[in-house]
Chain A
Amino acid sequence: QSVLTQSPSASETPGQRVTISCSGGNSNIGRNDVNWYQQLPGTAPKLLIYSNHHRPSGVPDRFSGSKSGTSASLAISGLQSEDEADYYCATWDDSLDGLIFGGGTKLTVL
């Protein structure tokens, strides 16, 4: 059971917008920046969003991140079939003194 809570699954049709949430607490999201990772089937994770809402070079602006209080969200607009993947949030936890990941959300593009 992860300290960061993500819904196990999400689904939406192509072209639509989907939001994936990550719920934490005061010792983690409440105090530290959140990163989001995309893991396509059979591949290594890839950094999608860093420091809550910044996109690394090469990441399409269809992907956006936000943080409010002890929760963070990843939004994907204009869904494409290639967005079908597992998505993980991650942040530092001051109480655990370590980096923690959410349990991951499996996104299905219907």
Chain B
Amino acid sequence: QLQLQESGPGLMKPSQTLSLTCAVSGGSIPSGAYSWSWIRQPPGKGLEWIGFAHNNGNTRYNPSLKSRVTMSVDWSKNQFSLKLSSVTAADTAVYYCSGGNDYGDSIWGQGTLVTVSS
């Protein structure tokens, strides 16, 4: 059973670049039409899609975050990553990594809280 685990800094200062990693374990990396996503949830609020990297090489980002977001995949290390530049307090959230396809496969990490504060 595949498992995802996010790791990140926890606490950051404004203007820094957030770097998060999602480690994939427990089985083979799914091939074919599978995508790897980042979603975040500010405290007490709803879900916001950040972006995804598809196994076909396609990468898509939330237009409202696109100028600050970079996602990458490194299957030699069984992980994929998110970088978000110039963070502000508005980027404070629980960040989830997720994998899935259009056929009901869906796995999520437990989430990691990132707090941006001076």
Q: Do A and B come from one complex?
A: yes
Binding site for B on A (CB under 8 A): 2, 33, 37, 39, 43-47, 50-51, 54-57, 88, 90, 96-104
Cross-chain contact of B46 among A50, A56, A101 (Cβ < 8 A): A101
How extensive is the interface on chain B, given as a class? 20 to 34
A interface footprint on B25-46 (CB within 8 Å = 1, 0 otherwise): 0000000000001010000001
Cross-chain contact of B63 among A37, A44, A50, A97 (Cβ < 8 A): A97
A interface footprint on B97-112 (CB within 8 Å = 1, 0 otherwise): 0001011111011110
A2 near B104 (CB under 8 angstroms)? no
Cross-chain contact of A56 among B47, B48, B104, B110 (Cβ < 8 A): B104
B49 near A46 (CB under 8 angstroms)? no
Question: Which residue of chain A has the shortest Cβ distance to B60 in the bound complex?
Answer: A98
